Amino acid sequence: MTDTYLHRDAPAGSAVAASAVPFWARPAGVATVIGAWMVIHALIAVFFEVAVNADDAIESYMVQSLELSYVPRNPPFFDWLLWALQRIVGTGPLSFAILRYTLLFACAMLVYRIAQKVIADPRLQALAAYSLSAIWVIGYHSHRILTHSNVMIVAIAGTFLMLTLLAERRSLGRYAALGALIALGILGKFGFVAFLGVLVIASLLEPTYRRALLDRGMLVAAAVAAVPLGIYAWALMRLDQDVAGATAQTIGATGARWEDVIVTVVGALAGYVLPLVVLMAVVFLPYNRGEGAQPDDGGRAAPRRVLRTVIILGIVATLVATIAVGATTLRDRYFHVFLLLLPVYLFAELERLGGWRPRVTLYLSLLAAISVGVMLTRMAAPLWPDPRLCGRCTSAEPLYKIQAAVAGKLGAAPTLVADDRMSAGRLRAAIPGARVVIVRELQYRPPPRPSTGCARVTGIFNGLPQLLLPPAGNDTIEMSVKWWSPMMNPHRWSDWQMTILPPDDPLCR
């Protein structure tokens, strides 16, 4: 057999004949399956969802220019990528789909590479990567609300993998790569700092990882990370952006009772690990007699123990911190920081337990059923945008249909004034060539540019009968648009107003 089907570091006793490894469990098969999953979801985003979602809309507003920092709440790396991509493919849903699924694909393949280091059997390695789709934050929410987090999870998986490689063999190139990944993580999302802190503690408890951390090569990693992070820190000071204050604002109210905090933590934790943990427990645990249990292997045991420590320390640290602060704003997606690699750890333990081989087909079938169900749900919202199914159904609102009215009154390069960042970003994504500003912006404001006209546009979130627009004025143009909803009768409508403003109006500058 060759390294194609079993990682070259696997012990001889764990070898699996190449002919016994199905295509879906080989490296090429894993890349094909994960790539197909990404492409299908990208096609749904481009051809079914006619408008960008809430988080994408905020980033759409931000990237009207290239800045060293936009707002203190989030670091800028995602925005830099989106800005560059939109120079090529435009401001519409395609740019968000390409970026989102490229990042998710990179994350999944890095997780698969980690699984090859921790798990001996190729089938379990593949299942660990596929099981990311059974983490609801990735399998469902990542299509709707995550932006900066997708950069962070790539950095988390990459950092753990690089440190594992360094524990095997140290080199200056690998230390430089580790520094670059650390910079990527911090510039992706500040939550990466918490992962890095826990990873350092967990690594210091494991001899091979400890030697890698205490090696002089870490100076190279620190130097590589320091350059981009130093530039970013300088930008924060120059722009007077208060990261600590923005973080406190995100945390929100504090001082809640410890009972309420624990309920919040447990709920967020359950929201992250489900349905993965339940699915694995139901399929692999009942009547498991431990057939074919894999004996512990020194080379694979070390990263498995580090993973276990990261998970345990992360959960404990989250509980202690939230109780100390008294916050009840913890969300399931925040556990990306500590639990992203949970599938790898669980399948590593399952390999040691044994009894999993006859149940692989069942588990794989259930994973596929969940993925298909999510795809059908995403397709159903634009086809049947009932508020009971998707609320405001933001991604199904045909905002692009006001392009003709805007171009006819304001020309090809208008300045549009919206009420908030989300509305502004949705306008920019729907109307190519528009510069969009908001009424009151205390942080980022897109730079001025020559404009063919200016107007204030309101009603971006309309589409529900109980939301009514104010009476129209003399300079107001009313626009009513029918939604494309072939499965819904009566059809859904959106009402917008466009009020023409003089070019020298302060809102237009």
pLDDT band at 486 (very low <50, low <70, confident <90, very high): confident
Task: Please list the residues that pair with 457 across neighbouring strands.
Answer: 498
8 Å CB contact between 336 and 146 = no
Distance of CA 320 to the CA centre of its chain: 25
- Cα-based distances in Å from 370 to 19, 330, 377, 385: 29, 26, 11, 21
SS3 string, 433-456, reads CCEEEECCCCCCCCCCCCCCCEEE
- Cα-based distances in Å from 253 to 246, 272, 326, 442: 13, 23, 8, 22
8 Å CB contact between 68 and 231 = yes
At residue 412, φ and ψ (nearest 5 deg) are: -85, -15
Secondary structure of residue 398 in the 3-state scheme = coil
Secondary structure of residue 497 in the 3-state scheme = strand
**Nearest Cα to Cα of residue 429 among 85, 143, 51:** 51
Tokens describing residue 495: 């009402």
Write out pLDDT tens, residues 67-114.
999 999 999 999 999 999 999 999 999 999 999 999 999 999 999 999
pLDDT of residue 253: 67
Q: Does residue 465 have a pLDDT over 70? A: no
pLDDT of residue 468: 60
Tokens describing residue 293: 């249990």
pLDDT band at 3 (very low <50, low <70, confident <90, very high): very low
Q: Which residue has the tokens 């200056």?
A: 172
* 206-228 mean pLDDT: 98
pLDDT of residue 503: 86
Q: Does residue 12 have a pLDDT over 70? A: no
8 Å CB contact between 246 and 189 = no
8 Å CB contact between 496 and 459 = yes
8 Å CB contact between 384 and 487 = yes
pLDDT of residue 168: 96
Q: Does residue 301 have a pLDDT over 60? A: yes
pLDDT of residue 466: 52
* 157-165 mean pLDDT: 98
pLDDT band at 484 (very low <50, low <70, confident <90, very high): confident
Contacts 24+ apart (CB under 8 A), 433-438: 434/406, 435/64, 436/61, 436/64, 437/507, 437/508, 438/61
Q: Does residue 56 have a pLDDT over 50? A: yes
* 249-258 mean pLDDT: 78
Q: Does residue 2 have a pLDDT over 70? A: no
**Nearest Cα to Cα of residue 51 among 81, 94, 83:** 94
Q: What is the DSSP string of 40-83?
A: HHHHHHHHT--S--HHHHHHHHHTTS--S-SBTTB-SHHHHHHH
8 Å CB contact between 258 and 319 = no
Percent of the chain with pLDDT over 70: 94
pLDDT of residue 463: 53
- Cα-based distances in Å from 460 to 213, 373, 493, 494, 503: 51, 30, 12, 8, 22
Write out pLDDT tens, residues 175-208.
999 999 999 999 999 999 999 999 999 999 999 9
* 9-29 mean pLDDT: 70
* 468-489 mean pLDDT: 81
Secondary structure of residue 188 in the 3-state scheme = helix
- 248 vs 223: which has the higher pLDDT: 223
* 130-151 mean pLDDT: 94
DSSP structure class, residue 329: -
What is the enclosing helix (H) or strand (E) of 208? helix 207-213
Task: Please list the residues that pair with 478 across neighbouring strands.
Answer: 497
Write out pLDDT tens, residues 424-458.
999 999 998 999 999 888 889 999 999 999 999 98
pLDDT band at 469 (very low <50, low <70, confident <90, very high): low
